[in-house]
Structure 1
Amino acid sequence: MAIIAFANPKGGAGKTTSALVLGTQLAAKTRVAVIDADPNHPITDWAKLPGKPDTLTVLGDIGEHNVVEVIDAAAEDHAFVLVDLEGTASTVVAYAIGRADLVIIPLQAKQLDGKQAVRAIQLVKRQEKAFRRRIPHTVLLTRTSAAIRSRGLRAILEDLQAAEVNVLGVELIERGAFDAFLAYGGTLDQLDRKEVSGVDKAIENARAYAAAVVQLLRDNERADQDHAAQGGQAR
């Protein structure tokens, strides 16, 4: 079981797309709960469209009064719990981060997005102190070009590397298929290739992204186990 929160104080950074792409990919193999904590309810709206996998549950009506209880309840009978958070620093965001096994911070290659991502990382650090535990986090680059590495993207990557921020090895490429499945419902595999271009490339990207997240979770779990074993030996 793993709880993954998607956080960035700036709206439009790609949180919903990142959460739903990951959720539908994981739901192909196991049970997944997606908690829609965005006041605009984009994932709840998507779930009302045809084609939602039976293995994917969408939970809405989330606030600071119940977010922790909903996360904990979902974690009892789902292999993965994904939390799509609102684009602002709030109590709900802080509570969800405090429960997370991994925080994914979607980031577009824009200077303003970079500054907001730093704010998200600072919030994670504060929650680490509050809960007295390590909360693994990574930046996910979104809407990047498959062919061009912009000057802005290179600058942001250099800043993140200098700050020793983990950046996921797979990016979500700018593809119309990602927007299409959010608008039409269902999954990427269900899109009509005659109406939507680049579906197969988007599926390939989505699978690589999901695999990278699962591997990061495994690496983090192994690191925690090693740390605990070393602590036991020290005592």
Structure 2
Amino acid sequence: MPTIIFASPKGGVGKSTSAILLATELAGKGASVTVIDADPNKPLSKWSQRPGKPENLTVMDNVTEDTIIDAIEGAEKTAQFVVVDLEGTASMMVGYAMSRADLIIIPSQGSQLDAAEAVKALKLVKRQEKAFNRQIPCSVLFTRTSAAIETRDLKDVQAQLTEAGVPVFATQMVERAAFRAIFSYGGTLSGLDGSQVSNVKAAQQNARSFAAEVVALLKANAAQAEVA
């Protein structure tokens, strides 16, 4: 079953948020999902201890560079989707995990500084491709964007990445209170109280669009691999 990895050397870009939104959307569609929380801060493990976690979603933590490959391979045998939230620093564990990815998602905000950090992650993916002699699909996901206006910085960064041939998600994860709220209250977007958190429906649609694009990418990559 496909393994989707979230990686970013820069903190605060919405890496763990995007990972749990994808995992809960997939689980909401009825798929069995295993999340591997390899972030030292354990944000997804902490989320799982709050009420409202879907029964068909499992969260694993306490993985190390010695166990990460076994953890991924074991999860692939039991779950329809495996979502891995990696630590931010480049490490042996990050490299090992990337070698098992069907898709690597690199979250980035739309600034030159964040784009430079995303490029670091992309270079790490390329090194793993050489080390393991396999192509590893990856794509940049813009996060914490404005719902009202697309900034000049974001447009410039998008153009630079596109010109460099870097795949970029069409969906952007907008800065929304509802995305932060699930870490405070637990559960999923569908379980949030619209009277307590603003724009829940817009957040739900944003997450659905992101999950749908991920699934479409996985299918396209699998079809391309079969042809190759």
Normalised to the residue count of structure 2, the TM-score between the two structures is 0.98
Corresponding position: 1:87 with 2:92: no
In 1, the alpha carbon distance for the partners of 2:196 and 2:113 equals 34
Q: Counterpart of 2:82 in 1: which secondary structure?
A: strand
Which residue of 2 is the match for residue 33 of structure 1? 34
**RMSD of aligned Cα (Å):** 0.7
| 1:208 partnered with 2:209 | yes
In 2, distance between residues paired with 1:217 and 1:84?
18
Q: Which amino acid aligns with 1:188?
A: L
2:4 counterpart SS class: strand
Displacement, 1:193? 0.7
Alignment-derived partner of residue 3 in structure 1: 3
> 1:181-200, aligned counterparts within 5 Å?
181-200=182-201
Look up the match of 2:14. 14
Structure 1 stretches (4+) deviating beyond 2 angstroms? none
- The 2-side partners of 1:128 and 1:6 are apart by 16
Q: Distance in 2 between matches of 1:13 and 1:88?
A: 14
Determine helix, strand or coil for the equivalent of 1:22.
helix
1:225 positional shift: 1.2
| Aligned residue runs from structure 1 range 80-119, under 5 A | 80-119=81-120
**Whole-angstrom CA distance in 1 between matches of 2:95 and 2:15:** 16
- CA-to-aligned-CA distance 1:178-210 (integer Å, 9 cap, x gap): 000122100001001110010011001111110
User: Secondary structure of the residue that 1:127 maps to in structure 2?
Assistant: helix
Distance 1:17 1:183 in 2: 12
Cα deviation code 1:26-67 (max 9, x no counterpart): 011210000000000000000000000000000000111111
Contact between 1:11 and 1:86, CA under 8 Å: does it hold in 2? no
Q: CA offset at residue 112 of structure 1?
A: 1.4
The answer to which of 142-151 and 31-40 deviates more is 142-151
From the CA coordinates, give the structure whose radius of gyration is larger. 1
The amino acid that maps onto 1:18 is S
- SS at structure 2 position matched to 1:27: helix
Q: In the alignment, is residue 62 of structure 1 matched against residue 59 of structure 2? A: no
Secondary structure of the structure 1 residue equivalent to 2:140:
strand
1:33 aligned counterpart, secondary structure: strand
Which amino acid counterpart does residue 149 of structure 1 have in structure 2?
E
- Alignment map for 1:165-180 (pairs within 5 Å): 165-180=166-181
- Once residues 153 and 12 of structure 1 are traced to their aligned partners in structure 2, the CA distance between those partners, rounded to angstroms, is 17
Q: Would you say how many aligned residue pairs link Structure 1 and Structure 2?
A: 227
Instruction: Give the SS at the match of 1:160.
Output: helix
- Range moving further from structure 2, 38-47 or 5-14: 5-14
TM-score, structure 1 length as denominator? 0.95
1:230 matched residue in structure 2:
none
Q: Which residue number corresponds to residue 131 of structure 2?
A: 130
Q: Deviations over 1:106-127 (max 9, x none)?
A: 0111221100100101011111
C-alpha offsets along residues 158-195 of structure 1, whole Å, 9 cap, x if unaligned? Answer: 11011100001111111110000122100001001110
Identity, % of aligned pairs? Answer: 52
Distance across 2 between alignment mates of 1:62 and 1:110? 32
Classify the secondary structure of the residue corresponding to 2:99: helix
DSSP 3-state at the match of 1:165: coil
Cα deviation, residue 155, structure 1? 1.1
TM-superposed CA distance for 1:14, in Å, is 1.1
